[in-house]
Structure 1
Amino acid sequence: MSDLSTNPIKTIPALVFDAARRYGDLPAIEDGSESVSYDQLPAECLSVCRALIASGIEKGDRVAVWAPNCSRWVIAAIGLQMAGAVLVPLNTRMKPAEAADVLSRSGAKLLLSVGDFLDKDYPASLNPVWPESLQSIVVMSNRQAPACDRIIGWDNFIANGADIAGLVAINRAASVTGDDLSDLMFTSGTTGKPKGVMSRHSACLQAFSEFVTILGLKAGDRYLVVNPFFHAFGYKAGWLACLLAGCTILPEQVFDAKKVLKRIESDRVSVLPGPPTLYLSLLADPELGNTDLSSLRVASTGASSIPPVLISRMRAELGFEVVTTAYGLTECGGLATICNPQDSAEIIAGTSGKAIPGTEVSILDKQGTILPAGETGEICIRGFNVMQGYFDNPKATVETIDSDGWLHTGDLGELDSAGNLKITGRLKDMFIVGGFNCYPAEIEAQLAEHPAIAQSAVIGVPDDRMGEVGCACLVLRPGHAIDEVSMIQWCRERMSNYKVPRYVRVLDAMPVNASNKVIKQDLVHMFNQSKQSQAEPA
């Protein structure tokens, strides 16, 4: 029998066994009436591992999870990683066709899914677009519809693993190495097709050990994870960080300011990371003054520009002792830079901090020359946290990681004299809606299927609550007409909610340059002018 305790902690399975020894009866997960302690967690995860082995899952196979934040999401993810499988998280906002595309291109053999969530039967929704590689769906929660050959309930799935000896599962978990893939997270690109980012176990643990240290997370902290588990912020900076520090994972499925305020008070929440919109919503809620926030200690934000006054208000009105900001993208495991919590509100709000230890951040010009402090260019990252590459896409990998090992982020920025990163814009045609990356090319590809649309261009425009939202600028086919309400509804039926444009503008023609490329800056200017004219009194 392999002894996980004799090896350095290089994998997530090894971390779970180590955490059980270190944190014992401290609660690892509390989800409603369900509570799992650290010393119970390995057995819970090994039961999933045994069931997966019984299902024929081998090391390196891809297994997907499509569910909102819940205790079984964490247990399922760790269980499949114990089996040596690669976690493929699916965005719960995906439409069935979007989910099927990721399942198909990842070659996922099995899907662990929620049953009924937000009035949607997730397994049934995949029936019309069932991917060829997918053998079955395991339903982790209640579901009204009956099971079938391809859809199995959680209890039956776990029971199927009873014939697999516990020693077999433990040895499978021990065989996982730090260089093995921990996850395959699909991120959209300017080509409009999501790309699978391959990350290693050891890189995840090394990066987020730094995150835990800088934030000062400690055993017994109670971490309300509002950020979705399918995103690096909820997965790696969320429940994985909790396991590293001995915190209690408190999953929250859907953000609602009033509900979160109640949970802070009732669950004595001490750690609450999130995008700026989360804190702005809490600060604006009428119940804020009637809520006991004395347990709050640590906050981490990012994803968009932040006014310094927000940092000050988070400290003064929400009571956070530690407030910091960070920068990362899926291609570097979700973490590249982070601010020292001791920095001023101006630095924490105006920059994304310095590169985490063991990595480099540089600003490069178009020729690949490293620029000095204060000059703007492309943000590039080098170090252990850079992805292994894009799954089954060597061309895109070479285009993103150069021969010197620099990951080209597509973001524009500059470094100050102290090495703090300031993000100034984006080379890639992208905007961020409430912390979610939106790629116009992907949305435009969907809009092209509308029978009335001849041409589309999507831009990001400012929004007080979400930071940015989409505006679809359209040129129509002759003889067709649309209205904004019906167009947005059409999009809602086909796209994840955050991708749906909040504004629609119909144009006679697109502004183009000499190369016949749409000048999106002109579209932004036109949008701003139209908003300004609407705001002016008649």
Structure 2
Amino acid sequence: MDAEIPSTIPAALRRAVARWPNEVAVVEAGRRVTWTELADRATAVARALIGSGVSPGDRVGLWAPNSTEWIVASMGVYAAGAILAPVNTRFTGAEGAQALRTAGARTLITVTDFLDTDYVQALAVDPELLGSLDVVIMSGEPGKHIGWGEFLARGAGVDHTDAERNLTADDPSDVIFTSGTTGRPKGALLTHGASTRTYTAWSDAVGLRHGDRYLVVYPFFHCAGLKSAVLACVLRGATLVPCPVFAVDTVMRLVQEECVTMLPGPPALYQSLLNADLSGYDRSSLRLAVTGAAAVPVELVRRMRDELGFGSVVTAYGLTETHGTVTACRYDDPIEVIANTSGRPIPGMEVRIVDRDGTDIGPGEPGEVLARGFAVMRGYYGDPEATAAAIDADGWLRTGDIGVLDAAGNLRITDRIKDMFIVGGFNAYPAEIENTMLGHPGIAAVAVVGAPDERLGEVGYAFVVPRVGVAVSPDEVLGWCRGRMANYKVPRYAEVVDALPLNRTGKVEKIRLRARAAAAVEKP
């Protein structure tokens, strides 16, 4: 690894302390934490974890909203030599339990007071799992579990330096959850060295600088928040400004009060800002926007520059399986490149476009995107079969996305083989939603597709076939879904049909359903 790039995430934090000891690392609700303070608090967490019996390589779950404490806890997990397994804050108890089981976590750091949500109570749906976990309450009432002060006291007299010192670039750092076409969560096993190398390259490409003030709306439980925000700021010496829940007024107040320079997000975030009255807010500090996760119209990029005041707007593409990044535009690329493509591979990554037979396709022709290089995950944790299906013997990762390369090597994503659709920046997987909906006593068959939505980009549209002799209504079905899955997965629309369109092999013809859903949504 390049000598200029820290080999591990704890090494990156130590370098930040050496370079900028008294500069502000995180600002939240008026509280300012320096790099030295952040590292000291992370060390206390590392010692407490080791004092709790956590060993190098153990998985530690973290289920909580964006906060300074989340950053401290994650850095403490890394410094203890353990593997971080963050859980989506929108998951239901059953979904969270499945993710923790997949990771094989024995420790869980969580909260009981986020938006009236008690994650421990949510896990009561799986009493066996809950009983097996050492549950540490970072915020809120601990009940019968371990409070934060009591947890930190476990680290008294514990030395964590060997655990941190023995980490290498090849050691696993995270199990980040995604979903495949089976609908079961899969944990992508990421590593320290690939993380620091990816986000050094990413920071170079997008133009993140030392001294930037970075407003983080993306959740920390995903690569977009954990890697391209938290880690990138550690590497660059930029100040993190966490935002636990997106709201236009909250974001703009923070932009004004904290002189935010960097504001990444999905296209829906910027569309929400552009559709709001921002006349009362000072936006003069805004310099850099990084977006992706959906097609980005040229007009949106122009409006972001002209109306929101961003000097640079950059687009990128990646997957959880590639530490979140494969390609990125450069901050000085022409507007047409930024709006119409996701840029070129970062150094050390390769991209190919192939047809169904795996034969390379020339520039301008659509095919499946394959990616290879240092950023490709180690594999799906505990799932060698899924790993073998995703990564071939030569190291090429099948992304499941359809894309086109131009003559300059810029990638444009045109479709999604896996039928995934993106709701306000969150990946929604039809198979997972359909599997849950089939648990409804009145549903015989269901197909979910993405339908266009002006604010969120896409939303779910469910075609439901009722069981014989059972009457179901769209409103009842959608209400049933709301109690059983994260809100971004819940279809916005449901339509009761007699049958689903099938092709000759018995597969649902979702292309027809997408067209039907789009037509239905666009009706006045």
Q: Counterpart of 1:241?
A: 232
Q: 214, 220, 237: which is aligned to 2:211? A: 220
Q: Counterpart of 2:60?
A: 63
Q: Which runs of 5+ in 2 are unaligned?
A: none
Does 2:253 correspond to 1:262?
Answer: yes
Q: How far apart are 1:33 and its partner, in Å?
A: 3.7
- Code of the residue aligned with 1:365 in structure 2: it is D
Q: 321, 340, 350: which is aligned to 1:360? A: 350
Q: 447, 454, 461: which is aligned to 1:464? A: 454
**8 Å contact 2:98–2:185 — kept in the other structure?**
no
**8 Å contact 1:107–1:134 — kept in the other structure?**
no
CA separation in 2, counterparts of 1:232 and 1:531?
Answer: 32
Q: In the TM superposition, what whole-angstrom CA distance separates every residue of 1:98-138 from its partner, at most 9, and x where no partner exists? A: 10111112110111102211112111221341416843111
Q: Counterpart of 1:298?
A: 288
Residue pairs, 1:314-463, within 5 angstroms: 314-463=304-453
- Code of the residue aligned with 2:88 in structure 1: it is N
- SS at structure 1 position matched to 2:441: coil
CA separation in 2, counterparts of 1:528 and 1:155?
Answer: 53
- Code of the residue aligned with 2:351 in structure 1: it is V
CA separation in 2, counterparts of 1:35 and 1:65?
Answer: 23
Q: In the TM superposition, what whole-angstrom CA distance separates every residue of 1:59-95 from its partner, at most 9, and x where no partner exists? A: 0000011001000111100101111100001000000
Residue pairs, 1:123-202, within 5 angstroms: 123-130=120-127, 131=129, 134-143=132-141, 147-148=143-144, 151-164=145-158, 168-202=159-193
- Code of the residue aligned with 1:279 in structure 2: it is Y
CA separation in 1, counterparts of 2:175 and 2:352?
Answer: 26
Q: Counterpart of 2:35?
A: 38
Q: How far apart are 1:525 and its partner, in Å?
A: 2.5
- Code of the residue aligned with 2:16 in structure 1: it is A
Identical pairs, percent: 48
**8 Å contact 1:109–1:133 — kept in the other structure?**
no
**8 Å contact 2:206–2:329 — kept in the other structure?**
no
Q: How far apart are 1:481 and its partner, in Å?
A: 1.7
Q: How far apart are 1:475 and its partner, in Å?
A: 0.5
**8 Å contact 1:108–1:134 — kept in the other structure?**
no
- Code of the residue aligned with 1:223 in structure 2: it is Y
**8 Å contact 1:109–1:135 — kept in the other structure?**
yes
Q: TM-score, normalised by structure 1?
A: 0.95
CA separation in 2, counterparts of 1:171 and 1:528?
Answer: 57
- SS at structure 2 position matched to 1:497: coil
**8 Å contact 1:187–1:196 — kept in the other structure?**
yes
Deviating above 6 A after TM superposition, structure 1's stretches of 4 or more consecutive aligned residues are: none
Q: In the TM superposition, what whole-angstrom CA distance separates every residue of 1:175-229 from its partner, at most 9, and x where no partner exists? A: 1111000100110110111111001100010010011112222222111111000
CA separation in 2, counterparts of 1:128 and 1:377?
Answer: 43
CA separation in 1, counterparts of 2:94 and 2:506?
Answer: 32
Q: Counterpart of 2:101?
A: 104
Q: Counterpart of 1:3?
A: none
CA separation in 2, counterparts of 1:48 and 1:110?
Answer: 13
Q: Counterpart of 2:89?
A: 92
- Code of the residue aligned with 2:37 in structure 1: it is Q
Moved more, 484-493 or 14-23: 484-493
Q: Which runs of 5+ in 1 are unaligned?
A: 1-5
Q: How far apart are 1:8 and its partner, in Å?
A: 6.4
- Code of the residue aligned with 2:260 in structure 1: it is V
Q: 87, 109, 113: which is aligned to 2:110? A: 113
Q: How far apart are 1:530 and its partner, in Å?
A: 3.3
**8 Å contact 2:451–2:521 — kept in the other structure?**
no
- SS at structure 2 position matched to 1:378: strand
- Code of the residue aligned with 1:434 in structure 2: it is G
Give the count of matched residue pairs.
Answer: 521
